[in-house]
Structure 1
């Protein structure tokens, strides 16, 4: 039985598939992701000795909305404002960070070359949103922190 030659239609489909496969492979073989750029102006904000803020966190470790009081660089009071955050305050009372700790985490993500390490800042320089993704190909390592109702305390 003689060998059949592929039809021109089949040959062009195979060629197209090969080109697409090569292109997809080449796109996925980039050396390493560029470190994320900062959104907004660079901050010169200094963490005050005493302040309060509301933190909405969506991470695997900490999810929910929290009212946080800080004094001398330490969280002194945390109130969960929804079911998830109330459970976490009860089970893990020391897990809610200060704004300064969030900024240190952002700095560490940038220095370690995280896929995303961005922050948006208020007019006074304090962060209002921090977005992190350590590895764009990993699941469950993303974090979003929204800082609201920030108020320095006068003592």
Structure 2
């Protein structure tokens, strides 16, 4: 009787382990599917950010205020663009004035910011988001190429856009 009980007890333990293992696999599969679903939603949301989604077109000449936070450029700047090229950068505080002299070539036009956004979306950056004004021009662009990397984030606020008259 003890031998029969032992076999039954062993079979019960094996069944319990199989059930536990199957349950664990089911939980892991569900968790993985949930993560993939969240990632797909984020990618889909980010895929809506490219400028091809807006009818706004950058004027050939304009000025705007740029608030930048990135490894290369940080501060608040008044930027003048003529014929699609940055021609003047004025720092709006002491630190930004110093940077304006040092990193003038890195100060982007709005078109260059939108190019960076498009590239980030195309390359599946961890974050590639934009917020737009009702007329379609960008107000804010956030980029993070790799969520696990340090110093690859960039955040740009775009204010006081004024097309040149004439």
Q: Please, which of 44, 47, 71 is the counterpart of residue 55 of structure 2? A: 44
- Structure 2 segments unaligned to the other structure (5+ residues): 1-23
Q: Unaligned stretches of 5+ in structure 1?
A: 1-18
Asked if 2 retains the 8 angstrom alpha-carbon contact of 1:134 and 1:142, the reply is: yes
CA contact (8 A) 1:38 1:117 kept: no
User: How high is the TM-score relative to the length of structure 1?
Assistant: 0.75
- Supply the RMSD in Å over aligned alpha carbons: 2.3
Cα distance, 1:37 vs. partner? 4.0
Any runs of at least 4 consecutive aligned residues in structure 1 with deviations exceeding 3 A, and if so which? none
Shift of 1:139: 1.3
Deviations 1:17-70 (A, max 9, x none): xx8xxx7xx86xx78x5532436x931111111111000001011000000011
Is 1:69 the counterpart of 2:80? The answer is yes
DSSP 3-state at the match of 1:94 = helix
Tell me the equivalent position of 1:101: 112
CA contact (8 A) 2:73 2:103 kept: no
Q: What TM-score results when the alignment is normalised by the length of structure 2?
A: 0.71
Does 1:78 pair with 2:89? yes
Matched residues, number? 130
User: Per chain length, whose mean CA-contact separation is higher, i.e. which structure has more relative contact order (CA < 8 Å, sep 6+)?
Assistant: 1
- Greater C-alpha Rg: 2
More helix by share: 2
TM superposition shift of 1:84: 2.4
Kept in 1: contact 2:63–2:78 (CA 8 A): yes
Give the aligned partner of residue 10 of structure 2.
none
